[in-house]
Amino acid sequence: MRILITGGGGQLGHDLREVLVEHEVESFDHSGLDITDPDAVFRAVDRITPDWVINAAAFNDVDGAETAADQAFAVNAIGPGNLAEAAARSSAAMMHISTDYVFDGRKGSPYTESDIPNPLSVYGRSKYEGELRVLGSGENTMVVRTAWLYGRYGKNFVTAIRAGATRGSPLRVVADQIGSPTATLDLARAIARLITSPIRGLLHAVNAGSCSRYEFARAIVGTGTEIIPIASAEAARPAPRPTNATLVSERWHLTGIDPLRPWEDALKDFLRTIP
């Protein structure tokens, strides 16, 4: 298949390029294609005539989005809408990567695709608007929500915790935020199979299980580093986070694909592959 990837410079984009190597892939980072520019998007899609457009581009600065709402909405909402419109005009399928932050975390149990989003932050609202624009553009679209991504490329929670442990000082990590840690390589492999599946619409794709940020940090560095559990209020971050935005899927069985493995197994394998 011919596949156009946006956000190719990010951690998921890197892994997608490697996993989809058997296909004809054209990958763009922001400098190569500004998805907020509809003319540029239409030109790229018209030139490539892809079978799939996969959007992994995002404004991911959750705290920064609180004071940069226009930019966050441009990248996370308008951009995906442009891609979806161009894909529909070209008869291509469209996949958009979204986030658990579309939920407020107050449900008290894992969120499925049937749950109604209620984002708390500018980032969450912009991502939800992107979902609506993509799904509203036609039937040949898919939104894949995922969470707490980490991989070999770029900044993420795993690299931040490992860097903090290297500095040797005690780490202060919130213990009242719960989610679904997900390895980008596992997600990329799942996406590689999803594009051969007839399923469309909304889908949750995360490594199985859940943990708190504190438990995740402890699993990353083991017992050799002092980690102090704190409350979210003590962290005093500008953007509110969902308390428990664990994701599960009630639709995954329709794909015919094995569910993603437990997060603990994915993390152990990941840690074995990095210095």
Lookup: tokens for 89: 């005009």
Average pLDDT over residues 85-112: 97
Q: What CATH code is carried by the domain that includes residue 46?
A: 3.40.50.720
The residue segments making up the domain with residue 23 are: 2-273
Lookup: tokens for 210: 């859940």
Q: What is the secondary structure of 156-183 as a DSSP string? A: -HHHHHHHHHHHTSPEEEESS-EE--EE
**Mean pLDDT of all residues belonging to the chain:** 96
Yes or no: say if 142 and 95 are a contact pair by the CB < 8 Å rule. Answer: yes
Domain total in the chain: 1
pLDDT at residue 10 in the model: 94
Q: What is the pTM of this model?
A: 0.95
Q: What is the secondary structure of 249-271 as a DSSP string? A: -SSGGGGTSPPPPBHHHHHHHHH
pLDDT at residue 275 in the model: 81
Per-residue pLDDT tens over the stretch 40-93: 999 999 999 999 999 999 999 999 999 999 999 999 999 999 999 999 999 999
Per-residue pLDDT tens over the stretch 186-222: 999 999 999 999 999 999 999 999 999 999 999 999 9
- Alpha carbons within 13 angstroms on the beta-carbon side of residue 92 total 29
pLDDT band at 154 (very low <50, low <70, confident <90, very high): confident
Average pLDDT over residues 88-113: 97
For 116-140, letters b (16+ CB in 10 Å) and e give ebebbbbbbbbbbbbbebbbebbee
Residue 169 in this model has a pLDDT that exceeds 90: no
Considering 123, 128, 150, 214, which one is annotated as catalytic? Answer: 123
pLDDT at residue 24 in the model: 96
Query: Residue 189 and residue 209: Cα distance in Å, rounded?
Result: 18
Average pLDDT over residues 128-149: 97
101 as an active site residue: the answer is: no
Strands (E), 130-259: 141-146, 149-150, 171-174, 178-179, 182-183, 201-204, 211-212, 227-230
Yes or no: say if 128 and 102 are a contact pair by the CB < 8 Å rule. Answer: yes
Of 59, 205, 75, the closest CA to residue 145 belongs to 205
Query: Which strand (E) or helix (H) includes residue 127?
Result: helix 122-135
Dihedral (Cα; 94, 87, 52, 10), 10-degree rounding: -70
